[in-house]
Every structure is written in C-alpha cells, then in structure tokens.
Amino acid sequence: MRMTTRYRELIRRPQIAVMVGAYDALSARLVETAGFDLTFVHDYGVSAGLLGMPDMGLVTLTEMTGVIANVVKAVGIPVVADGGCGFGNPLNTYRTVREYEAAGAAGINLEDQVYPKRCGHLAGKQVIRPEEMVEKIQAARDARRDPDFVITARVDSLAIHGLDDAVSRANLYAQAGADMVFTEAPTSVEEVRHIIRSVHAPSWINMVEGGKTPLIPIPELQEMGAALVDYGPLVLFAAAAGICRALEVLKRDGTTAAHLGELMSFTALNQLNRIDEYRARETQYGDKAADAPHSPAPG
C-alpha cells in the first residue's frame, strides 16, 4: 500500500490518528519504533535541529526537502511534511507540493500566514486574505500527482481575528478542496471542541508542550471527533532536555559514569540503526573488511 493511501485511511477511520513529530531520520526511527503510525517533519524541528534557529521562516524549501527525503528513507510509516506557507505564492506552493511528493511525503500541511511565517504559538503572526489561501490550496491540488496525497490547510487567524473568523476560514478551505483542516493555537478545551464540531472536514489538533493550547488527553480528543492529534515538537523537547542533563553530569563529574542509566547504549543505538541488516549485506557481497585485521599505517 502506498504511504499516501495509508495516511488517508488513518485520518478517515473512527479511531483518532496520533502523529509524533520528527526533526531528522533518527528521531523518526524512534517514533516508528515506539509504535506510532505517523510522523511529521515540521519546520520548527528542522529550524532548531538543522540550523539552530527559531521557527521564523528561516528554513528553505531545499533544506526541508532534504530532511523529508532522509526521513522517508529511514522509516516504514507515512511521513507528513510541514509546508509552511508554501514558501511564497501559489506558484511556489505548486513547486513545494511537487518537491515534497517527489521526496516521498504522504501529505503536506499549508498555512495561511504571511510569508515568511513563524511558529503558530508565537506572537506577531500575520495572515493573508482567505481568498489567497484558497488559491494556494487550488495550486496544491493541481500539483499533486497522487490523488491520495493529503493536503491539509492550516488556519492561523484565531489569535488575530478570533474564533468565528478561524472557523469561517477552515470551512472555506475545506470547500476549496483541502482534505483536512488544522486550526492552530486554540486556547481552551471549549475552543477545541467548538472547532471540531463546527468545521465540516476532518480536524487536525496540535498539542505543543508549553504552547497556547491545553494538553488534552487523546481519548478526550477522540470523543470530540478529532481526526488527528499531532505532538510536533515533543521528541525535540525531550532530546534537548536529555542532552542538557548528560552534559551537566559530564561538566560536574568529569565522567559520564553516573549517567549511563539515562543513556541509550552503544549496542541499542546500533540495533536501532539496523546494524545487523548492514552486516548481513556485507557478508552477502563478500566484504570481509569489518573482520580483517588493521594494517599498519604506511610510512
């Protein structure tokens, strides 16, 4: 089954789809190994993990596409890709969809912010006219070659123009052909419930630890009728915190001995990266280099 078809099935089934974000191939492999059905390459994570920069429209289409392609090759689950504002106008959006689809993404998330965009939970957002976003959705639909490639329209107007405007935009984008709608940064459980009830399309709900939206348990979101819940930066937050703790121990003790129980082992990480598969391939091709004694350096 194509990953696009699998993704479409997951958001159509009665059970809510749970998607955990990734910022590189290793984090995506961890998401898959933990048993999740979907992963999401988001520009917040790529901006931080690849560039060490905030999510303020600084990551490029080429950089995003490169990460997406690496993640797709590393996992066997659908990879959803953050398209931001399509990196420009509808023509740029058309190219973005073509590039993401060629990289192997199962779907794209496009938002109605002014380009360059910023994280949806940051202050200072601006949005384009809804009619402009409709043109981007149309461009995305024209660009996709696989009819199962999922196009999600993200609404960022709630913090600027209020809940009614956000719901109005969401329904307009659904009418324009978006397969799913993602209304960003509601500030209460009541707003989340109202959005899911009022939008006439599958709803994507975003959970960001420390963001504007309260952390709502998955069973409660399912009861509300959400199609998908996204834990975008969770893995990035966890990785950054874990790295900080390990470095603190090394700086304090001059050794990592006291911290070994908090680390993935050398053996476990090699297994995660499928070392047995690559060793078997070495043997298949008659490559004995790994077992051969090292020759002394010349000279």
Q: pLDDT digits over 38-55, tens only?
A: 999 999 999 999 999 999
- C-beta atoms surrounding 222 within 10 Å: 16
Find the mean pLDDT for residues 120-125. 82
What CATH number should be reported for the domain holding residue 177?
Answer: 3.20.20.60
Q: Are residues 125 and 210 in the same domain?
A: yes
What pLDDT sits at residue 54?
Answer: 92
Shared domain check, 77 and 25: yes
Candidates 140, 150, 149, 155; CA nearest to 196 is 155
Residues 94-118 have a mean pLDDT of 95
Q: Which residue has the higher pLDDT, 66 or 1?
A: 66
Does some domain include residue 296? no
State the pLDDT at residue 120. 78
283, two tokens: 């043997």
Pair (194, 258) in one structural domain: no
Strand-strand pairing, 203-206 and 17-22: unpaired
Per-residue HEC secondary structure of 228-281 comes to EEEECCHHHHHHHHHHHHHHHHHHHHCCCHHHHHHCCCHHHHHHHCCHHHHHHH
**Is the pLDDT score of 74 beyond 60?**
yes
What is the C-alpha separation between 203 and 24, in angstroms, rounded? 26
Is residue 297 very low, low, confident or very high in pLDDT (cuts 50, 70, 90)? low
- Yes or no: say if 115 and 132 are a contact pair by the CB < 8 Å rule: no
pLDDT tens for 196-234 read: 999 999 999 999 999 999 999 999 999 999 999 999 999
- Domain limits at 151? 3-233
Inside any domain, residue 289 = no
Same domain, 48 and 63: yes
- The SS3 assignment for 25 reads helix
Q: pLDDT of 139-165, one tens digit each?
A: 999 999 999 999 999 999 999 999 999
Does residue 296 register a pLDDT over 70? Answer: no
Q: How confident is the model at residue 118 (pLDDT cuts 50, 70, 90)?
A: confident
What average pLDDT is seen over the chain?
94
- Count how many domains the chain has: 2
106 with 192, same domain: the answer is: yes
User: DSSP code of 187?
Assistant: -
Within a domain: 299: no
Confidence band for 32, pLDDT divided at 50, 70 and 90? very high
pTM of full prediction above 0.95: no
Same-domain status, 273 and 212: no
* C-alpha pair distances (Å), 120 with each of 137, 183, 190, 232, 275: 19, 10, 19, 12, 39
**Per-residue pLDDT averaged across 236-240, rounded?**
97
| 219 and 253 inside one domain | no
Domain boundary among 205, 233, 261: 233
pLDDT at position 299 is 47
pLDDT at 294 over 90: no
In a domain, 269, yes or no: yes
Residue 298 lies in a domain: no
- Does pLDDT of 266 surpass 50? yes
Do 153 and 244 share a domain, yes or no? no
Q: Are 20 and 229 in contact (CB under 8 A)?
A: no
